[in-house]
Structure 1
C-alpha cells in the first residue's frame, strides 16, 4: 500500500475516532422525554454523538446536575419553570430548543365531571410555583376559582380571590399526584406523570389544556455548552419530521409537537 493511502486511511480513522468520541449526557423524566431521547439516540449516533440518557423522577435534580456540570443537558421542563428555578436557585441554565407541549390536566377517581364537585371538595396541585400556578390557571379557566391576578403563572392558593365551592387545596410534589387520586376529589397532574401512571390524558382528563399552551417543553443546557456541535445535533434531531411523526403516533394527542 502506498504511503499516501496509508496516511489517508490513518487520517480517516483518527477523524472517525474523534467523531465517535463526542458524547452527551442528558437528564430526563421517563415519559415522554426519555422515550423521545431513546428514539433519537440511534440517529444521533449516526452523526457521531454517543448520548447517555439518565432518568430522574423529580423536577429539581435534573437542573442541579446540569448546573454543576455533572450532566450536559436536561429535557423535562418548560420555560416558566426554568425561569423560576434560575431565579430561585441562582443558576443560569438556558433553553436550547422547544420540542413539545404536554397538555396539563385534571383527573379524578371519584367524579366524572368537574360539574360534580361539591362544596369543600379536595384538590391536589403541584407544589412548585410554575406548575402549581398552571394548575390554578386551568381551574380558573374551568370557572371554579378566580385569581387576584388572573394571568399570574406562579399563583398559589393564597392568590385565589374567589372560591365559590370553598375548594380545599393540597400542594404536593408533582410526581406523587397520581398516587393520591384515591384520596382527593381531583388531582392536577402533569402529562408525563399521568402517562407513567397509565392515565390517558385525552380520555381520562376532566379538563385539559389545548394545543395552544405556552408551556413548551425544552432542551436545556448551560451557556458554555448550548452551542456545541453535539448539542446542536441533538436539537436538530429533536425537531425533525421523524420526531414529529413519532410523537403524534405514539402519544395520540397527549403530547403535541411544538415545532
Structure 2
C-alpha cells in the first residue's frame, strides 16, 4: 500500500509539472512562449528569436488562426504572452471575458483595408452592395469607421472606436452588411462586393494591402498591435528582453523592408 501511495504522489507531481509546461515564465527554464497569428506576427517573432537566443532566452512561437485562443491561453497561464491584437480588441476581450490581460509594448500598425474582386474602384460599388465585416466588436467598429471616413456611411460619432451598425445614421448606397469571424473574410471575396479585412489575414490570403485595397487606413491609424501579457509576468526580465528586441532598430528595418508599407513600425 505504501508503494502504491508513493507511486500516486509521483504521478501527481509529474502531472503538476506538465500542467505548466507551456509557460516559460512560470517554470525554471529560460523558455518564453508567445501566441501569435501567422502573418505578420509570427514572422516578426522569428526575426526576434536569434536576438533573444543571444540573451539566453529560448523563444517558442505558438501560431493560432483565431483571435480568441491567444488571449484565453495567456489568461489561463498555458502560454506566457501573445502578440496579435490592438488595444480596443484587448479592452473588449477583458470586459467580455472577465480577464485582466495587460499591454507590455506596442510594436506595429497594420492598416485595415476594404477589398473587392469585382470592382477596381470604390466608386464602382453598386447600390445595395453586399459587404462583409469582422464580427468581433473592435474590428467591426474599425471597419465601420473606415467606411464612414470615405463617405459610404455616416455614424453618430465618426471617432467612436466601439461604434456598431446601430450607430449608422445614413447609408446612401444601401449597403447590406454581414458579420463573420475575421479569419473567414478573405474567403468571401468571390461571393460579395466588398470585404473589410484585417491586414494579417489579407497578407495570408496573398493580398497586397498597399496595391489591392480599395480603401485603407493611413499611417496615423491608432490601432497599434501590442505584445500582451499578465500582471504577474509583464515585468519579468525575459518578457522585457522580448519587448526590447521587438522594438529594436533591427526589427524596425525588417518591418519596413519586408512589408513595404503593408505593416508599419509603431516605434
What corresponds to 2:112 in structure 1? 104
Q: Which of 52, 55, 69 is matched with 1:44 structurally?
A: 52
Residue 69 of structure 1 corresponds to 77
- For structure 2, the residue ranges without an aligned partner over 5 or more in a row are 1-27
Give me the whole-angstrom Cα distance separating, in 1, the residues matched to 2:184 and 2:255.
Answer: 25
SS in 2 for 1:225: coil
Cα shift readout 1:178-224 (whole Å, capped 9, x = no counterpart): 00001110000000000000000000000100111000000000000
Separation of aligned partners in 2, 1:113 and 1:130: 26
| Residues 1:182 and 2:190 are matched in the alignment | yes
1:116 partnered with 2:124: yes
Q: Secondary structure at the match of 1:24?
A: strand
Name the residue aligned to 1:245.
Answer: 253
Q: Distance in 2 between matches of 1:156 and 1:126?
A: 11
Structure 1 position 150, deviation (Å): 2.1
CA distance in 2, matches of 1:154, 1:116: 28
3-state SS in 2 of match to 1:175: helix
TM-score (norm 2): 0.89
Whole-angstrom CA distance in 1 between matches of 2:115 and 2:259? 18
CA distances 1:84-132 after superposition (whole Å, capped 9, x unpaired): 1101110000000000000000000001111111110011000000000
2:255 touches 2:263 (CA, 8 Å); kept in 1?
A: yes
* Offset of residue 137 of structure 1: 0.1
| 1:151 to partner: Cα distance | 1.8
- Could you say which residue in structure 2 is the equivalent of 1:7? none
| Distance (whole Å) between structure 2 residues aligned to residue 141 and residue 151 of structure 1 | 9
Q: CA deviation at 1:23?
A: 1.2
Q: Equivalent residue for 1:158?
A: 166
**Alignment size in residue pairs:** 240
8 Å contact kept, 2:256–2:264: yes
**Structure 1 consecutive aligned stretches of length 4 or more whose deviation exceeds 6 Å:** none
Are 2:29 and 1:29 aligned?
no
Distance in 1 (CA, whole Å) between partners of 2:57 and 2:158 is: 45
Q: Is the 1:95–1:221 contact (alpha carbons within 8 Å) kept by the matching residues of 2?
A: yes
Are positions 1:91 and 2:99 aligned together? Answer: yes
Partner of 2:212: 204
Query: Contact 2:149 / 2:158 at 8 angstroms: preserved in 1?
Result: no
Residue 13 of structure 1: aligned partner: none
| Matching residue within 128, 131, 134 for 2:139 | 131
Q: Give me the whole-angstrom Cα distance separating, in 2, the residues matched to 1:215 and 1:69.
A: 26
Tell me the distance in 2 between the aligned counterparts of 1:224 and 1:30: 26
Instruction: Give me the whole-angstrom Cα distance separating, in 2, the residues matched to 1:187 and 1:156.
Output: 17
- Contact kept, 8 Å, 1:21 with 1:48, in 2: the verdict is no
Question: Matches of 1:22 and 1:199 in 2, distance apart?
Answer: 37
